[in-house]
Amino acid sequence: MNEQIALTESTYYILLSLHTPRHGYGIMQQTQALSGGRIRLAAGTLYGALNALCEKGWIVPLPESGRKKEYKLTDKGLTVLKNELNRLRQLVENGESILKEENV
């Protein structure tokens, strides 16, 4: 299994925020904080994304122990996240090597 796809910024930050299990509101807060405020997820958008990520097997809901449903990253989701990080590193390295004479 080698998920070689480009993630949207929202998906990247949702997965990254789930490195530690969180409930929906916590995911919204962490995503906004990690993105420096660029990503502000509405509840409907977030829960649609969470459902899609569950269907892909990248995250799973934890057994409910209270009022708030929590989610966590799966091993498959962690692999996808690491692959995306490597892809982003390569993008930056390529850009820096091409534009180095412009002092990026």
Domain count, the chain: 1
Contact 59, 15 (CB under 8 A): yes
Contact 71, 20 (CB under 8 A): no
Place of tokens 């990248």: 58
The domain of 81 spans 9-102
- pTM of this structure: 0.87
Query: Does any domain span residue 2?
Result: no
- For 44-70, how does the pLDDT look when each residue is reduced to its tens digit (9 = 90+)? 999 999 999 999 999 999 987 777 889
CATH code for position 74: 1.10.10.10
- For 88-98, how does the pLDDT look when each residue is reduced to its tens digit (9 = 90+)? 999 999 999 99
Contact 52, 73 (CB under 8 A): no
Cβ-based neighbour number of residue 63 at 10 Å? 7
Query: Does any domain span residue 68?
Result: yes
